[in-house]
Amino acid sequence: MDDFREVEQFIYREARLMDEHRYEEWLALWTEDAVYWVPCGRDDADPERQVSIVYDRWPQLANRIQRLKTGKAFAEDPPSRLCRVVSNIEMEQARGGEIVAHSSFVLGDLRKHQEVHWYGRTQHRLRRIDGALRIAYKKVTLLNNDEPLPNLAFLI
Amino acid sequence: MAAAEISYDELIKEDQVHSRLYYDQAIFQEEMDKIFSRNWVYVGHESEVAERGEFVGRWIGLQPVILVRDRERRLHLLLNRCRHRSNTVCQLERGVAAGGFRCAYHGWTYAASGDLIGMPYPGGYAPGDFRKEEHGLLEVAMESYHGFLFGHLNPDGRSLLEHLGAARVLLDQVINLAPDGEVELRAGILKHKYRANWKMTMENVVDAYHPPILHQSAFHLDSGKSFNWDSIYGPEGNARIRDLGDGHGQIDFSAQNRKSGFFFQGLRGDIPAAAQSAYVEGLVRRLGSERAAQAIGDSDPHFSIFPNFNYLPPGQVRLIRPVSVDETHIYYFPALLKGAPDELNRERIRRNGYMHGPAGLVAPDDIDVYERNQEAFKARQDEWLILRRGLRSQRREEGGAMVGLAYEETTQRGLWGHYRRVMKQPSSTVEER
């Protein structure tokens, strides 16, 4: 159960870093071979053959963060106020010592007097590097991923 | 009671347009009639419904339509409305209509061709009182240009080719990038929405003044930090904007493409060399070496077709859907090059989401600006939007198109001039009753 507590705390902490726009600290959570995927249209589309809302490897992830930090990413100027509730965390051991964690979230996104609610499920694949958990893979399945979306310029 | 007539000559001048055009509900209603019901409107691509029975749900203006391929592989564009007493017969945005379309309310059933093929208790009509053949789903006129499908609710004899006018050669440029001479739109759809008028995005897509400013956060990432963006967008820059007539417009990056393969990013480092040469060989086989070089030099064009189609590098078709005077949806489709190596098409797919989706590095800033525009229209001391950049220096080139520098406004003036001509037509909805 100790492992579970650690994974749970890791996921909560990641959520708080995203809510608080702590971009560098969030980026530091990822492994160098990371895959970050937010599918579009279908939950299980092949991201190599179907377009995704996000399908980043490390260089794209780093660019995403670099852009947000310029202060000239106008879709996030002023930044969204974010508050997400993460729940339904399940954990399983996977091949190669990786840990797979499933969770759900509800996210309130307030910007310029407009409140948007987001819902989704997240799958993390976590790897232990030098004693600390790192994200090797993260898939975010948005409830509305086949609907026209407003801007999603913050971290999800 | 007749509503006060809207004077488009008062609202649209050569060098300025009035904010009311973006927020007035009555003008929006007139647009749905005069622009979207009496023009060729982009609805989709043949490759989206490649199989028998395959369909997608779309809209022409506000009107729901179904684009579907029937059992004989013929394409139809049908109004999504049961002929009995109005009900949507198709509830999904995509799928395969194996048994056609069935209305849930009273069970009227239509083949994929739109023919009415059955209803419960047909004896409810007296003999001779009802003819099934006259009650198929209403079919909307549709024409294809190399697979790009446009619908017309009230065909008036003007062909799609006439409508495309000078924009046609840019569609040809797109087709010529595919070794098999066709593009395919079967890699999904990014869907984006914003709370502002639909014309914002039609203007913005041919505005080459804003990119290095609004999008500086994406332009100045490590990859582009050392690049001299003025060499494209500045006073000595090699980009041009072009009013193609009929409301169509272009940002011409071909000089830069020829210099650096800049926008045809598929050939710029992210594609293995073997796939690059296989691609070029494929083009040469179809076009010959001279025309293949021309196609690669032209690369993915950047243009708009009035009133609701855009094409952008690196291979993205956009369909603009007005929802209300201050709500718009944009669908973004990766345009795959048929016959090109997988690696190249994968890179095109990836860049679609990375640059221009709702979580892309570029499109969200445009969207935010549209909403800021709409908010600012509430300030009404001076309601004019100025479109005077390059008015004195633009020139008409051989072939008739008006051309300006990147940071001028020739394209917006062209769009508005056409809009004014279209909107000055008499309304078809007569209000005397």
DSSP B296-326: HHH-S-EEEETTTEEEETTTEEEEEEEEETT
**Within a domain: residue A116?**
yes
Residue of A nearest to B375 (CA): A112
**What is the rounded average pLDDT for all residues in chain A?**
96
DSSP B184-216: E--S--EEEEESS-THHHHHHTT--SSHHHHTH
Query: What's the rounded Cα separation, in Å, for the pair A87 and A106?
Result: 9
Q: Which domain holds residue A74?
A: 2-142
Query: What's the rounded Cα separation, in Å, for the pair A36 and B433?
Result: 60
Predicted local confidence at residue B302, as pLDDT = 97
**Within a domain: residue A150?**
no
Best probe of the A interface among B190, B214, B271, B328, by most A CBs < 10 A, is B190
CB < 8 Å to A67, chain B: 217-218, 221, 361
**Within a domain: residue A115?**
yes
Domain ranges of chain B: 41-145, 167-423
Phi, psi (5° rounding) for residue B5?
-70, 140
Which pairing describes strands B240-245 and B402-405: parallel, antiparallel, or unpaired? antiparallel
Predicted local confidence at residue A100, as pLDDT = 96
Encoded tokens for A3: 């492992």
Per residue in B108-167, pLDDT tens? 999 999 999 999 999 999 999 999 999 999 999 999 999 999 999 999 999 999 999 999
Predicted local confidence at residue B1, as pLDDT = 44
Predicted local confidence at residue B263, as pLDDT = 57
Asked if B189 and A41 come within 8 Å (Cβ–Cβ), the reply is: yes
Query: What's the rounded Cα separation, in Å, for the pair B143 and B127?
Result: 38
Question: By mean pLDDT, which of A72-86, A89-103, A138-152 is the weakest?
Answer: A89-103
Predicted local confidence at residue B222, as pLDDT = 75
Question: Nearest CA to CA, how far is A63 from chain B (Å)?
Answer: 7
Per residue in B242-283, pLDDT tens? 999 999 999 999 999 888 875 555 556 678 889 989 999 999
Asked if B220 and A149 come within 8 Å (Cβ–Cβ), the reply is: no
Which pairing describes strands A132-142 and A30-39: parallel, antiparallel, or unpaired? parallel
Q: What is the CATH number of domain B167-423?
A: 3.90.380.10
Query: What's the rounded Cα separation, in Å, for the pair B230 and B217?
Result: 16
Asked if B369 and A64 come within 8 Å (Cβ–Cβ), the reply is: no
Query: What's the rounded Cα separation, in Å, for the pair A21 and A12?
Result: 14
**Within a domain: residue A155?**
no
Domain total of chain A: 1
How many residues make up chain A in this entry?
156
Decide if A14 contacts A26 (C-beta within 8 A).
Answer: yes
Query: Sign of the C-alpha dihedral, residues B8, B10, B14, B16?
Result: negative
pTM: 0.96
Predicted local confidence at residue A110, as pLDDT = 98
**Within a domain: residue A156?**
no
Predicted local confidence at residue B268, as pLDDT = 60
Q: How far apart are the first and last CA of chain A?
A: 27
CB < 8 Å to B357, chain A: 40, 51-54
Asked if A67 and B216 come within 8 Å (Cβ–Cβ), the reply is: no
CB < 8 Å to A68, chain B: 217
Asked if A149 and B221 come within 8 Å (Cβ–Cβ), the reply is: no
Decide if B42 contacts B66 (C-beta within 8 A).
Answer: no
Encoded tokens for B417: 């001039």
Query: What's the rounded Cα separation, in Å, for the pair B70 and B101?
Result: 11
Nearest to B139 by CA among B70, B51, B52: B70
Query: What's the rounded Cα separation, in Å, for the pair B412 and B202?
Result: 9
Predicted local confidence at residue B221, as pLDDT = 87
Predicted local confidence at residue B18, as pLDDT = 98
* Rama region for B366: left / alpha / beta (φ>0; ψ in -120 to 50; rest): alpha
Q: State the CATH number of the domain containing residue A50.
A: 3.10.450.50
Phi, psi (5° rounding) for residue A128?
-95, 120
- Cα–Cα–Cα angle for B68, B74, B79, rounded to 5 degrees: 40
Q: What is the ipTM of this complex?
A: 0.97
Q: Does B95 touch chain A (CB under 8 A)?
A: no
Predicted local confidence at residue B262, as pLDDT = 58
- Which regions of chain B are under pLDDT 70? 1-3, 262-269, 429-433
Predicted local confidence at residue B93, as pLDDT = 97
| Domain B41-145, CATH homologous superfamily name and number | Rieske [2Fe-2S] iron-sulphur domain (2.102.10.10)
Asked if B189 and A51 come within 8 Å (Cβ–Cβ), the reply is: yes
**Within a domain: residue A55?**
yes
Predicted local confidence at residue B362, as pLDDT = 96
Which pairing describes strands B94-96 and A81-93: parallel, antiparallel, or unpaired? unpaired
Predicted local confidence at residue B430, as pLDDT = 44
Decide if A60 contacts A32 (C-beta within 8 A).
Answer: no
Asked if A45 and B188 come within 8 Å (Cβ–Cβ), the reply is: yes
- As a dihedral over the C-alpha atoms of residue B114, residue B120, residue B123, residue B129, rounded to 10 degrees, the angle is -30
Asked if A66 and B222 come within 8 Å (Cβ–Cβ), the reply is: yes
